Structure 1
Amino acid sequence: MRVSDIDLISPTSVEECLYFLSDKDKSSRLIAGGTDAVVGMKDDVGRPDTWISIKQMKSLRYIREEDDGIHIGPLTTHTDIVHSELLQEKADVLAATAREVGAIQLQNMGTLGGNIGTASPAGDTIPALFVLEAEIELTSLNEKRIVPINEFFTGPGKTVQKHGEMITNIVIHPQDKNEIGIFEKLGPRKAQSIAIVNVAISLKMGSKPRECLGGKIAFGSVAPTIIRSKKCENMLTLGPLDHDVIQDIAGAAWKEVMPISDGRASAKYRRSMASALLERGLYRLLKRWDER
């Protein structure tokens, strides 16, 4: 594809962008960091009539805490997330995830909104957003609506986002002081590739040794969309998180995930690695908690 073949416009405001998106006579697609879109262009996949560049919309790049949660703009980069003291303190699972999103160059370019909009079952930031119970704000010329993240994705590359809508805000629930989170990922090359399996974990710890009051676990790349591991979550509060309990929880994950076989890994291997990553993540979390 030649550069001259690309029809690119650069609106200066959200309102102007929504005007272009509402045009039903032409297909259009937003582009920010372009880390996913450029790959698709090379393969001539998902190419619209018009690309709408929103990279320079500074109003959509922010991280701030408000009464209803932590608000993150869709143009916030992974690097912004990594260096945010607010997220390190109150959403450590998301900060940890952003560190594993590709190389430094990709972290500098890639955006949270882009990662969500691509809707890949292997998207690294999405499991973290699941355990933080994120809400996605979708805006069109005529309305604004809020969609819980567990209702946003409908399949690989598919979401409930309608024609003329764009992601304008992401709200996450901050972790309490007794909550800790972690992200584990398995890929062919460390931090440089699409995950074969990934998992985000957040635990709420009690005052007794290794007492868990509750937790959230979300797996990626083991189903058509990200999945919350409800069975494993329910087992977190059955007793102190000792070796036997962790082994039982990891074993339950093997049965709960629903992976497929593809060119990167077999379903059986993914099941085994989902179990192993959850086990490793729980041990690492407890070690961090014990050291506090």
Structure 2
Amino acid sequence: MKVSEMEMISPTSVHECLHALTDQQKSSRLIAGGTDAVVRMKDRNWMPDIWINIKGLKELRYIREDASGLHIGPLTTHTDIVKSELLQSKADVLTFAAKEVGATQMQNMGTLGGNLGTASPAGDTIPALYVLDAHIQLSSLHQIRSVPIKDFFIGPGKTVIKPDEMISDIVIRPQEKNEIGIFEKLGPRKAQSISIVNFTASLKIKAQTRQCIGGKLAFGSVAPTIIRAKKCESMLLLDPLDEHMIQNIAKVAWKEVAPISDIRASANYRKDMASALLERGLYRLMKRWENK
């Protein structure tokens, strides 16, 4: 299919977009930044009858806070996230991850909703959303439902989004004052490639100590979907996070991940790198904590 042969509509409101999604006679797919869509079209993987261009729906581009948490619109770009003072202060781990999503041009075009909708296990922002207990709001003409991120993905490239639904809001919890995050990524080229492995942590630390009193760890690109490292999380609470303890946790990480081998890396290499990224990430995180 040539670009000139593509059928595309550009709704002027969310309601108009939802109405277009109810047409079951033709297959459709939403497009915003289009950073992943172009690649998929070239590979002939995404070939809907109609593309629905939602880039102009400014009502879906925002970052704000209320009593229920931090709200991020699905059309919020990675650059918006990186520059947000609200997220820098209350969701630092998400800003660190967004800063590593490709080159500057990719960050300017790519959206958080697009990262979620693509559902790649290697998506850099997704592990951060896991440790921030994100809920994904899905809207159709007839209902709105909220899905915990742990239930949102059902496999590589697959989500629970129904054909007549779209992502309309992403809600995350704000980090506490004694909570600090980190993001680590391994890719063929620094900050401009798909992750071979990525790792995210957000820990609550007891004041003036190295004792973790609560923490969440997540890995990307080491399983069909993002995984929480639950055994490693339980170890965080056992002893102060000194060099010896961090090394012990890293050894357990090797056993928790379940990657595959592909053209980018072998399964064993990914397991080794998951362990190494966790170790490096926790060292860096504790260094930042001591310097706060």
* TM-score (normalizing by structure 1): 0.99
CA distance in 2, matches of 1:207, 1:4: 60
Deviations 1:254-284 (A, max 9, x none): 0000000000000000000000000000000
Question: For the Cα contact (< 8 Å) 2:139–2:165, is it kept in 1?
Answer: yes
Question: For the Cα contact (< 8 Å) 2:90–2:176, is it kept in 1?
Answer: yes
**Which consecutive residues of structure 1, in runs of 5 or more, have no partner in the other structure?**
none
Is 2:78 the partner of 1:91?
no
Look up the equivalent residue of 2:233 and give its one-letter code.
E
CA distance in 1, matches of 2:196, 2:4: 36
Deviations 1:133-177 (A, max 9, x none): 000000001110000000000000001111100000000000011
Q: Report the Cα offset of residue 44 of structure 1.
A: 1.4
CA distance in 2, matches of 1:239, 1:250: 14
**Structure-1 residue corresponding to 2:111:** 111
**Structure-2 residue corresponding to 1:41:** 41
**Structure-1 residue corresponding to 2:278:** 278
**Which consecutive residues of structure 2, in runs of 5 or more, have no partner in the other structure?**
none
Q: Report the Cα offset of residue 108 of structure 1.
A: 0.1
CA distance in 1, matches of 2:244, 2:288: 19
Give the 4+ runs in structure 1 shifted more than 4 A: none
**Structure-1 residue corresponding to 2:75:** 75
Q: Report the Cα offset of residue 214 of structure 1.
A: 1.0
Deviations 1:197-241 (A, max 9, x none): 001100100025201101000000000000000000000010100
CA distance in 1, matches of 2:243, 2:43: 47
**Structure-1 residue corresponding to 2:142:** 142
- Map 1:253-272; keep pairs closer than 5 Å: 253-272=253-272
CA distance in 2, matches of 1:169, 1:207: 34
Deviations 1:75-119 (A, max 9, x none): 000000000000000000000001000000000000000000000
Deviations 1:36-83 (A, max 9, x none): 111111111111000000001000000000101000000000000000
**Structure-1 residue corresponding to 2:175:** 175
1:185 counterpart SS class: strand
Is 2:16 the partner of 1:16?
yes
CA distance in 2, matches of 1:198, 1:47: 30
CA distance in 1, matches of 2:2, 2:121: 30
Q: Report the Cα offset of residue 4 of structure 1.
A: 1.4
* TM-score (normalizing by structure 2): 0.99
CA distance in 2, matches of 1:287, 1:158: 38
CA distance in 2, matches of 1:4, 1:246: 55
CA distance in 1, matches of 2:97, 2:278: 15
**Structure-1 residue corresponding to 2:244:** 244
**Structure-1 residue corresponding to 2:231:** 231
Question: For the Cα contact (< 8 Å) 2:178–2:207, is it kept in 1?
Answer: no
Deviates more, 1:39-48 or 1:10-19: 39-48
Look up the equivalent residue of 2:33 and give its one-letter code.
G
Identical columns (%): 71
Look up the equivalent residue of 1:20 and give its one-letter code.
A
Is 2:199 the partner of 1:218?
no
2:248 counterpart SS class: helix
Number of residue pairs aligned between Structure 1 and Structure 2: 292
2:93 counterpart SS class: helix
Deviates more, 1:2-11 or 1:100-109: 2-11
Is 2:188 the partner of 1:188?
yes
